[in-house]
Structure 1
Amino acid sequence: MTKPLVSIICLSYNHAAFLRQALDSVLAQTYQNLEVLVVDDLSTDNSVQIIEEYVQRFPRLKFIKHAQNTGNCAAFNEAFRLSTGEFIIDFATDDVLHPDRVARQVDAFQHLPATYGVVYTEAELIDETSAPLGFFYTRSAAGQISPTPVEGDIFAAVLERYFICPPTMMIRRQVLEELGGYDPTLAYEDFDFWVRSSRQWQYHFLDQALCQRRVHPHSLSRKVYQKGDRQLASTIQVIRKAQRLVKNGREQEALQTRIQYEARHAYLTANYPEAAQLLQLLRDEDGLTGSYRLLEVLTKHRVPLQFLRRWYHRWRYGHTGA
């Protein structure tokens, strides 16, 4: 029986230091029925030269070279429209795939009902030098995993908290087609994709570490809540979308929890306009408790309490945080 075609969409932006390791990991997949598309979003380092070298050596690679920077979401959508795979992997070229990543996720899909749209997994964490930093999930001596992965209908859970490592996902093509791809008006894609896709599709957690996620100062995830970063504004957009999708009390409670979390972090990182918007959304959701009414006052008068977040990070993680 012919194995389904899998499209790996490799998104490159100033990843020259990591590109060779990333592309080598794609080319080393044990799964054979692959389509590989590489998009460079107008890198300012020598990423393009490295990609062109690989295209010469491996002509099956499809290279899309941008003349202007469009952002991750639009770059992915362009490649997705050119792809033909039944399953899709969105792969940032600062990460690394394990050789059997594709094979194991395809096998998982083939044992799941057609209602499952996403398979996600455990991930190793590595630094700029590829030194190990542990794993995405922490495990107790009794084997309990934190954050707890959720399977099946994850809509309420994904509103409430983060528990999916984005680069581990394999996505059924039909999911992305129904959504029209990623929302190109957003600065990042994962939260929006989770919210919109999980309303109609089920998720499966495969408890295997099948990729290495690189943690470094220039990664998008490290810029969340920095002053002027567009990701917080995108989060507000996604929350507004989620308001229209919520169907019951459990989901509304989950959404309130999310808004409270984002409002606290916005305030404690001095993103006062965004904090004010989030607190208004919380008021709209009837979730403005006494402590968040106090936060409204602190936000309105821009009372600087950022040191509280730094103290927390020093206590919790051993550093000062963002």
Structure 2
Amino acid sequence: MTNDAPSVLSAVPELPLVTVVALCYNHARFLRPALDSILVQTYPRLEVILVDDASTDDSATILREYANAHPSWQLLLLPRNEGNCAAFNHAFRRSQGEFLIDFATDDVLLPERIARQVAVFQQLPPSYGLVYSDAEHVDEQGHHVGYHYKRPRPGVLLPRPAEGWVFAEVLRRYFISSPTVLVRRAVLAELGGYDETLTYEDFDFWVRAARNWQFHFQDEKTTQKRLHPQAMSRRGYRPHDPYLASTIRICRKARALCRTPDEQDALAVRVRWELRQAVRWRNFSEARELYGLLRELQAVRPLDWLLSQAAGIGALLSS
């Protein structure tokens, strides 16, 4: 079902249009705070596209209510569950914004989020394709838990943010809080949107985007990221990790993008980390694949070999 009302608000034509793609799958209990956080944005030129990925709770009912109350918002109710990557691409293909936000509707946008990030983008050269920031972590009830970046002393953030040409850093470690990202449309257009063969989008998107575009860190808290058992981030690195096969595919794609020995070394750091997690959580077949990729990178260390042997023995004992 689609609400075909006009998608562009032109109250302030001189400002760039920003598209908020609000992606929902069984977020009914969090949906109203999320959608209300779009309504209180201080930025005046928004295109809002609501996408429900065939939820089985009351999400569709709530989304219809908000779409009816705000006719400029587009509503897309997918008839079957397609996953986050495909659901986002449906919205991206119909969007018009110069900048886009992939907004999971269990999170909350702080009121100045979009205005402040657009202002940052407008001060950057056109080679910058992505702005990201700090995030507050909240629990299911919206209570403060912490922040994405720990600040043990003034001027020190952990994990350390990276800026500029960050391809190797994106390969080496996680430092970006996904819900805080504002991306230039040209980046998504160049990449053809998200890779729909994957079960999750952010690592692959960062890798491919960082090859040709610079990233900027905005040292502000712009978003509340909700931590709850059903969140995608809580399901990784567990027995039968549903995302590990995609991670391996992304690492192989990244290998083809590496241009320097330093970039290959950075990828080896990531693959080694994933190998350790795979063995720890008894994902033995994936561990053997990761070890094979380390061999291809000519980056095997003695502990890597021992882990590969443990994975082989573990697989035999599990069979």
Structure 2 distance, partners of 1:296, 1:41, is: 38
1:6 alignment partner, one of 6, 12, 18: 18
1:152 and 2:169 aligned:
no
Q: Secondary structure at the match of 1:252?
A: helix
Q: Secondary structure at the match of 1:140?
A: strand
Asked if structure 2 preserves the Cα contact closer than 8 Å seen for 1:225 and 1:271, the reply is no
Q: Secondary structure at the match of 1:199?
A: helix
User: Aligned-pair distance for 1:56?
Assistant: 1.4
Structure 1 distance, partners of 2:87, 2:240, is: 22
1:249 and 2:282 aligned:
no
Residue in structure 1 matched with residue 6 of structure 2 by the alignment: none
Residue in structure 2 matched with residue 270 of structure 1 by the alignment: 282
User: Aligned-pair distance for 1:249?
Assistant: 1.2
Residue in structure 2 matched with residue 106 of structure 1 by the alignment: 118
Q: Secondary structure at the match of 1:301?
A: helix
User: Aligned-pair distance for 1:275?
Assistant: 0.5
Aligned residue type for 1:111: Q
User: Aligned-pair distance for 1:188?
Assistant: 0.3
1:26 and 2:50 aligned:
no
User: Aligned-pair distance for 1:61?
Assistant: 1.1
Asked if structure 1 preserves the Cα contact closer than 8 Å seen for 2:235 and 2:242, the reply is no
1:135 alignment partner, one of 147, 150, 154: 147
CA offsets, 1:117-174, max 9 Å, x none? 0000000000000000010000012331000000000000000000000010000000
CA offsets, 1:283-311, max 9 Å, x none? 1101111111111111110189xxxxxxx
Residue in structure 2 matched with residue 240 of structure 1 by the alignment: 252
Q: Secondary structure at the match of 2:218?
A: strand
| Higher alpha-carbon deviation: 136-145 or 150-159 | 136-145
1:86 alignment partner, one of 98, 102, 110: 98
Residue in structure 1 matched with residue 243 of structure 2 by the alignment: 231
Q: Secondary structure at the match of 1:159?
A: helix
Mapping of residues 177-256 of structure 1, within 5 Å: 177-256=189-268
Structure 1 distance, partners of 2:49, 2:312, is: 47
User: Aligned-pair distance for 1:60?
Assistant: 1.1
CA offsets, 1:57-110, max 9 Å, x none? 111110000110000000000000000000000000000001110000000000
Structure 1 distance, partners of 2:207, 2:171, is: 7
Asked if structure 1 preserves the Cα contact closer than 8 Å seen for 2:241 and 2:283, the reply is no
Structure 1 distance, partners of 2:154, 2:83, is: 42
Aligned residue type for 1:24: D
Structure 2 distance, partners of 1:80, 1:30, is: 23
2:179 alignment partner, one of 167, 174, 187: 167
Structure 2 distance, partners of 1:235, 1:131, is: 31
1:62 alignment partner, one of 70, 74, 81: 74
Normalising by structure 1, what TM-score? 0.93
Structure 2 distance, partners of 1:143, 1:214, is: 26
Asked if structure 2 preserves the Cα contact closer than 8 Å seen for 1:120 and 1:164, the reply is yes
Structure 1 distance, partners of 2:278, 2:94, is: 38
Structure 1 distance, partners of 2:245, 2:230, is: 19
CA offsets, 1:242-267, max 9 Å, x none? 01010111111100100000000001
Q: Secondary structure at the match of 2:76?
A: strand
Structure 2 distance, partners of 1:289, 1:196, is: 27
Asked if structure 1 preserves the Cα contact closer than 8 Å seen for 2:284 and 2:315, the reply is no
Normalising by structure 2, what TM-score? 0.94
Runs of 5+ unmatched residues, structure 1: 305-322
With over 3 angstroms needed to count, the CA separation of the structure-2 counterparts of 1:275 and 1:52, relative to structure 1, is same
User: Aligned-pair distance for 1:229?
Assistant: 3.3
Q: Secondary structure at the match of 1:242?
A: helix
Asked if structure 1 preserves the Cα contact closer than 8 Å seen for 2:41 and 2:112, the reply is yes
